[in-house]
């Protein structure tokens, strides 16, 4: 493993997204196995671990924070623990054709959230505390002010925002400097590359979630793939049979580069972003130790700037399917 900075925060180049251990990918994983997986990640040199207060199960909506906190307790001073605040779910909105995600960044809600997360994580502080989604009702400056207070109080050490625009980033950063922006980013979802100049200007890191487009870019799935009950990929447009056909050119590109580099498709998908910018840190999720080791190994694959440019040119010219969570123009 090698390391890089998000702002002034040093993290492993490849982190571990922990959401899928508790939700969205079928039944929750076995807790003993996940504790062992997280310990193995630490042994591999991974230091960035990502969770959120809303990652959970039907029985325990905060399950993931508890799992991650307990698993990382023996290594607390060696790792960077990231969690998120600021949303809840209202499933009744689905009946109206709306997103069930409800942002809520009122100061009193933030303060209740941070205290609850600290208790569930079993920690005195949070290394990186994200606003999970921008709340249009609360000014960026007000949220940033609360973050500044929490830093002064020692409850958090750094803060960030997920799914933010340039305007919101600039407004928030002017009040309390941001350490990271966490957005969806992969070879199939490149919209947020427009933010790179402002991140470089302000010395803000970029944490890439869903770097495999929920698994498509690992090359492990095809048009015949099926998913168990409770696995959200069954409803994602990029996994339909038609989409897998449409993405065949992209997958062929990945396979070709992987063969040339003696790597896997997933490793190339990660190396592409790692070698593009020194402040990008992907947080792929997994429940499998072999995949964990594979993801960590991507940090050692080198793609030159010329190779990155050539890949980008080909990506820009090829047809791709719709992707979950992304609006195509």
The answer to whether 38 touches 288, Cβ cutoff 8 Å, is no
Tell me if 233 is assigned to some domain.
Answer: no
Tell me if 312 is assigned to some domain.
Answer: no
pLDDT at 315: 96
The partner residues of 32 in beta bridges, in order of sequence, read: none
Q: Is 55 a catalytic residue?
A: yes
Tell me if 139 is assigned to some domain.
Answer: yes
Structural domain containing residue 80: 3-212+276-302
Tell me if 23 is assigned to some domain.
Answer: yes
Which residue ranges of the chain lie beneath pLDDT 50? 328-329
The pLDDT tens digits for 132-166 are 999 999 999 999 999 999 999 999 999 999 999 99
C-beta neighbour count of 24 within 10 angstroms: 15
The answer to whether 213 touches 186, Cβ cutoff 8 Å, is yes
Tell me if 313 is assigned to some domain.
Answer: no
d(C-alpha 177, C-alpha 158), whole Å: 9
pTM confidence score: 0.94
Those residues whose C-beta lies under 8 Å from the C-beta of residue 95, and which sit 6 or more positions away, are: none
pLDDT at 54: 94
Tell me if 265 is assigned to some domain.
Answer: no
Q: What does the H/E/C string look like for 248-288?
A: HHHHHHHHHHHHHHCCCHHHHHHHHHHCCCCCEEECCECCC
Residue in 126, 112, 131, 185 with CA at minimum distance from that of residue 154: 126
Tell me if 250 is assigned to some domain.
Answer: no
CATH code of the domain containing 295:
3.20.20.100
Sheet of 16-17, strand order: 16-17, 48-50, 80-85, 126-131, 156-162, 180-184, 205-209, 280-282
Tell me if 281 is assigned to some domain.
Answer: yes
The catalytic residue among 3, 25, 55, 129 is 55
* Structural domain count of the chain: 1
């Amino acid at each position: 493993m090698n390391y890089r900075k998000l702002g002034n925060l040093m993290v492993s180049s490849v982190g571990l997204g922990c959401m899928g251990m508790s939700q969205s990918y079928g039944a929750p994983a076995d807790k003993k196995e996940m504790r062992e997986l997280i310990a193995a990640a630490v042994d591999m040199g991974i230091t960035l671990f990502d969770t959120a207060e809303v990652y959970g199960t039907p029985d325990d909506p905060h399950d993931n924070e508890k799992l991650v906190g307990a698993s990382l307790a023996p290594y607390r001073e060696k790792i960077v623990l990231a969690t998120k605040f600021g949303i809840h779910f209202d499933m009744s909105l689905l009946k109206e054709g709306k997103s069930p995600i409800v942002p809520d960044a009122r100061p009193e809600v933030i303060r209740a959230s941070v205290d609850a997360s600290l208790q569930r994580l079993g920690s005195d502080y949070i290394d990186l505390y994200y606003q999970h989604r921008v709340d249009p009702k609360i000014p960026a400056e007000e949220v940033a002010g609360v973050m500044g207070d929490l830093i002064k109080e020692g409850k958090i050490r750094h803060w960030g925002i997920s799914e933010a625009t340039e305007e919101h980033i600039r407004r928030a950063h002017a009040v309390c400097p941001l350490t990271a922006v966490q957005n969806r980013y992969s070879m199939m979802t490149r919209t947020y590359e427009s933010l790179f100049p402002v991140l470089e200007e302000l010395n803000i890191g970029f944490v890439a979630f869903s770097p495999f487009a929920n698994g498509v870019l690992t090359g492990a799935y095809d048009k015949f793939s099926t998913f168990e009950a409770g696995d959200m990929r069954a409803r994602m447009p990029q996994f339909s049979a038609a989409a897998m056909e449409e993405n065949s050119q992209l997958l062929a590109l990945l396979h070709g580069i992987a063969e040339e580099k003696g790597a896997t498709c997933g490793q190339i998908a990660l190396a592409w972003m790692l070698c593009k910018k020194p402040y990008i840190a992907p947080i792929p999720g997994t429940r499998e130790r072999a995949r964990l080791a594979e993801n960590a190994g991507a940090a050692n694959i080198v793609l030159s700037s010329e190779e990155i440019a050539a890949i980008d040119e080909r990506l820009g010219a090829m047809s791709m399917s719709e992707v979950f969570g992304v609006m195509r123009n």
